[in-house]
Amino acid sequence: MMHPDPIIERVMETWMPRFLGGGIAYYDIQTVLSRIRDWDDWGPEWMKMAEMHEELAEEAWKKGHRISAVQAFQTASAYYHTACFVYVRDLKIHNRGLKKSVECHDRVLEYMEPKVEKIKIPFEGTNILGLFSTPRGGGPFPVLIVLPGLDSTKETRHQRKGPYLRRGLAVLSLEGPGQGEVSQWLKIRPDYEVAASATIDYLETRPDVDPTRIGIFGMSMGGYYAPRSAAFEPRIKACVGNCGAYNYAECFIVDSRPIVSREAFLHYSGCKTEEEAFEFAQQISLEGVAERITCPLLILHGKLDPLVPWEQGKRIVDEASSVDKRFVLYEDGIHSTSNVGYRSNPLTADWLAEKLGGTLS
Amino acid sequence: MKHPDPLIQETLDVWMPRFLNGGIHYYDIQKATGRMKSWDDWGPEWTKMAEMHEALAEEAWQAGRRISSVQAFQTAARYYHMAYFIYTRDPEVHDRGLRKMLECYDRILGYMEPSVEKVTIPFEDTFFVGLFSRPKTESPPPVVIFIPGLDSTKEGRHNARGTYMRRGMAVLSIDAPGQGETSLRLKIRPDYEKSVGAAIDYLESRADVDVDRVGINGASLGGYYAPRAAAFEKRVIACVGNCGPFDWSEVFEIIPQVTREAYIHYAGAKSREEAFEQSKTMTLKGAAKNITCPLLIVHGKQDPLIPWEQGKRIVDEASSQDKQFILFDEGNHGCNNIQYKAGPLVADWLAMQLGGTVS
């Protein structure tokens, strides 16, 4: 046990490997856990920790230690993200964490290695956002659209671009409605395919990518968005979902789902009550939709996932019409298979590289 | 996560951040330690875990998934290191872990990114080994020699090469007597300056580095070796020590039992008493004052192995004009828990001393 407060304990059980994998130092997690009494303290204490990292970044920057500063600002961004991650009880803190996370990241955007470009994608009279990087060498490259989940962001997803770039794929980490920075002006949409289509329209304007080789990959709630998009958008040539829902309403009421995850869903969907959220969640469904998927499909799931039962993932594959489809279940995997990432990540990257004409060697 | 066995719990308390930084997965640590009843199980359980990772690597290799395989063999190497890390109770398990670590690493040496060259360094009438990498610069870059501690290795230290290469420095990580691969043939020597001298002789034979700009960087017992070398080897022009002892015999009774057992092993001592006698030769008494090059010592105030006063004494007694002692109040052994503070500080300091770049 890591914490006497049951909510915090549940959060740590569910996401400890995710925090560590996202660049949060173990010692800082211990320090924050020792300072917080209950969940209400989560946001404020992580804000303090993030501020410490931002100061380190600022100090390095002022001294002209640019390499260190660029690294430290990205670290600070990841910590600010942790402050607002599934923490919506104090919306001022949530929003400030989100803004600061973006601010720290964007401040050093032009110095990142490999290069990262921030892009605006026109969407229904407004816009959605993405981070874009290309592999070394000359294009046009196949491109992978990476989707965050309920409460991850384009910044956290783009941190993991390296393995895809190395395999010859360009990466566009997207924030559609309800996600990250974009969540400030657009709420969750069950018909995420409209965001994917807008993104592909944008990609078709870029000479450095090959629009006939577009893949899509989402984790957690992104594991619903990705197959949903593949069902309606024929320009997607390969789709990976990791621990996504077939029907979000069915997951919403699972006992083992942390209460804070439900709270975050209310916030990002703009619902006022649990009842309203449950109603809305019924629209987040692949019923009658999954059968429209025809492209190569890979669904990964952890059998111990407490948020989205593994049968949800299996149902996506069962109902898809794809000739080339595969369901991989990790007996000991938790949500997003983050504890066995050394199994699921290389598999995902290699599978996508193979389908999209990247390289495995 | 408290383990009922006090030796295992102590090991986790001291080294958890180091294991995680070194690429050992949290979930695997939970699983492996969950299976252990006592310290005796440390080596065998980590060996099993390493075999699982090696199987993943092998599978990827067979499938022609080379990028994944190269990554996985490096992971397997790190896990085999865990199997013998300060675990010397069963020397067969220890040695097998070490040999398998080397085998996994060397197997994919030709595919590493950034690339790594394994080098042999003539030493007295024998040799020791190192790993070398250099940035793609036109003119010969300065070079930093990475020195492992009691039970770290050139492979583990060389993981940090990217940080240094990005700052315009080449990196040579060595396994000198008593360390890693070389420990299979040569026992610990207090006069580590001879090893560093041999490493610099070797560097002089290469045309692709600037031997007038050699720095050294050691952590833990390497934090003794580095200043010791700087005291006697004047070709060293900048020296960093992290949580090293001023006098090893003064901490001999303080260090965790399993660390003492490891020292007895690597020193080739027959008994605790003999090891204690040998530890008295591992000292900077009368030596620290010979240090004249720029010197940076960092120490964690919470270091349970080497009290921070040991590090301070090195700086106090050094004759260097440019010397600095940085004490991190919350730092543990090796400052592994606040790597985000100590790591960039050391890399930037060396870059500035050696004429690398910080931007």
pLDDT in tens, B179-226: 999 999 999 999 999 999 999 999 999 999 999 999 999 999 999 999
Q: β-pairing, B170-175 with B126-133?
A: antiparallel
- Output A53 or B2, whichever has higher pLDDT: A53
Co-location of A83 and A177 in the same domain: no
A150 and B CB contact within 8 Å: no
Which CATH number do you get for residue A16?
Answer: 1.20.1440.110
User: For residue range A73-88, what is the model confidence (pLDDT) as tens digits?
Assistant: 999 999 999 999 999 9
| Pairing mode, strands A141-147 and A236-242 | unpaired
Helices (H) and strands (E) in chain A, counts: 14, 8
Can you tell me the distance from the alpha carbon of B119 to that of B141, in angstroms, rounded to the nearest whole number?
18
Among B67, B346, B352, most A C-beta atoms within 10 A, so best to mutate, is: B67
The span from the CA of A313 to the CA of A300, in Å, is 7
- H-helix segments, B130-209: 154-158, 161-165, 193-204
Q: Which of A32, A334, A350, A352 to mutate to test the interface with B (most CBs of B within 10 A)?
A: A350
Q: Specify the amino acid at residue A96.
A: R
Q: Do A134 and A269 lie in a common domain?
A: yes
C-beta of residue B175 within 8 angstroms of C-beta of residue B153: yes
A231 and A121 together in one domain:
yes
Which pLDDT does position B330 carry in this prediction? 97
Structure tokens at A34: 């020792």
Residue B109 and residue B73 in contact, taking contact as beta carbons nearer than 8 Å: no
Does B68 sit within 8 Å of A346, measured CB to CB?
yes
| B28, closest residue in chain A (CA to CA) | A339
Q: Please report the pLDDT score of residue A265 as a whole number.
A: 97
Is the model's pTM score more than 0.90? yes
The whole-angstrom separation of Cα B253 and Cα B248 is 10
Q: Are A42 and A80 in a shared domain? A: yes
Task: For residue range B73-110, list pLDDT tens digits in order.
Answer: 999 999 999 999 999 999 999 999 999 999 999 999 99
- Name the residue facing A25 among B72, B340, B357 (closest C-beta): B340
Distance from CA of B353 to the nearest CA of A (A): 14
Residues 6+ apart with CB under 8 A from A276: none
Interchain contact, A17 vs B25, CB within 8 Å: yes
Share of chain A above pLDDT 90, in %: 97
Instruction: State whether A161 and A41 are in the same domain.
Output: no
Dihedral sign from CA coordinates of A203, A208, A211, A217: negative
A99 and A240 assigned to the same domain:
no
Cβ distance A350 to B67 less than 8 Å, yes or no, reads: yes
CB count in 10 Å sphere of residue B55: 12
* Element housing B75 (H / E): helix B66-84
Q: What is the mean pLDDT of chain A?
A: 97
Domain-located, residue A155: yes
Among B68, B330, B359, the residue with its CB nearest the CB of A67 is B359
Tell me what pLDDT residue B354 has.
Answer: 98
Q: At residue A173, what is the residue type?
A: S
**What sign does the dihedral A253-A255-A256-A259 (CA atoms) show?**
positive
User: What pLDDT score was predicted for residue A1?
Assistant: 67
Residue A255: which pLDDT band, with cuts at 50, 70 and 90?
confident
From A111, A139, A155, give the residue that closes a domain. Answer: A111
CB contact set of A285 (below 8 Å; sequence gap of 6+): A190, A246, A247, A248, A249
Q: Per CATH, is B6-111 categorized as 1.20.1440.110?
A: yes
Please give the average per-residue pLDDT across A152-167, as a whole number: 97
- Domain assignment of residue A248, yes or no: yes
The answer as to whether A273 is a domain residue is yes
pLDDT for A126 beyond 70: yes
As given in the structure block, the two tokens for residue A321 are: 């019409």
CA–CA dist A243, A226 (Å, integer): 11
What does the pLDDT average to over A286-314?
98
pLDDT at B1 over 70: no
ipTM topping 0.90: yes
Nearest to B66 among A2, A56, A361 (CB): A361
> What are the residues whose beta carbons fall under 8 Å from the beta carbon of B350, sequence distance 6 or more?
B144, B164, B167, B169, B215, B217, B238, B240, B356
Interface check A127 vs B, CB under 8 A = no
A301, A333 Cβ separation under 8 angstroms: yes
A75–chain B Cβ distance below 8 A for any pair: yes
Nearest chain B alpha carbon to A1: B1
Residues on chain A touching B16 (C-beta within 8 angstroms) = 26
Q: How many degrees, rounded to 5, is the angle at CA B220 between CA B214 and CA B226?
A: 25
Q: Which tens digits make up the pLDDT trace of A175-214?
A: 999 999 999 999 999 999 999 999 999 999 999 999 999 9
| pLDDT confidence of residue A46 | 98
Token digits of residue A123: 């969407």
CB of A26 within 8 Å of a chain B CB? The answer is: yes
Read off the tokens for A75.
């670290």
Test A166 with B338 for CB contact under 8 angstroms: no
Mean pLDDT value of segment A213-217: 98
Kindly report the nearest CA distance between residue A134 and chain B, in angstroms: 18
Per-residue pLDDT reduced to its tens digit, A10-60? 999 999 999 999 999 999 999 999 999 999 999 999 999 999 999 999 999
Q: Which domain holds residue A79?
A: 6-111
Is A26 in contact with B330 (Cβ distance < 8 A)?
no
Residue A351 belongs to domain with CATH number: 3.40.50.1820
Q: In what order do the strands lie in the sheet with B126-133?
A: B117-123, B126-133, B170-175, B143-147, B214-219, B236-242, B295-300, B323-328
Give B-chain residues touching A355 at CB under 8 angstroms: none
Whether residue A341 sits in one domain with residue A196: yes
Q: Are residues A86 and A184 in the same domain?
A: no
Count: domains in chain A: 2
Which residues in chain B are contacts of A358 at CB distance < 8 A?
A: none
Confidence of residue A263 (pLDDT cuts 50, 70, 90): very high
Q: Work out the percent of chain B whose per-residue pLDDT is above 90.
A: 99
Residue A253, judged by CB atoms within 10 A of its CB (0-12, 13-18, 19+), counts as exposed
Q: Say which residues have a Cβ less than 8 Å from residue B309's Cβ, sequence separation at least 6.
A: none
Rounded to 10 degrees, the C-alpha dihedral B170/B171/B172/B174 comes to 170
Residue B2 has pLDDT above 90, yes or no: no
Judgement on whether residues A131 and A107 belong to the same structural domain of the protein = no
Residues B123-178: pLDDT tens digits?
999 999 999 999 999 999 999 999 999 999 999 999 999 999 999 999 999 999 99
pLDDT band at A2 (very low <50, low <70, confident <90, very high): confident
A64 closest CB neighbour out of B67, B339, B358: B358
Q: What is the pLDDT of residue A256?
A: 87
- Determine the pLDDT at residue A116: 98
Query: Does residue A155 share a domain with residue A59?
Result: no
The rounded percent of chain A whose pLDDT value lies above 70 is 100
Domain boundaries in chain B? 6-111, 117-354
Residue ending a domain, choose from A111, A139, A160 = A111
Domain boundary (A53, A87, A111) is at A111
**CATH class of this structure's domain B117-354:** alpha beta
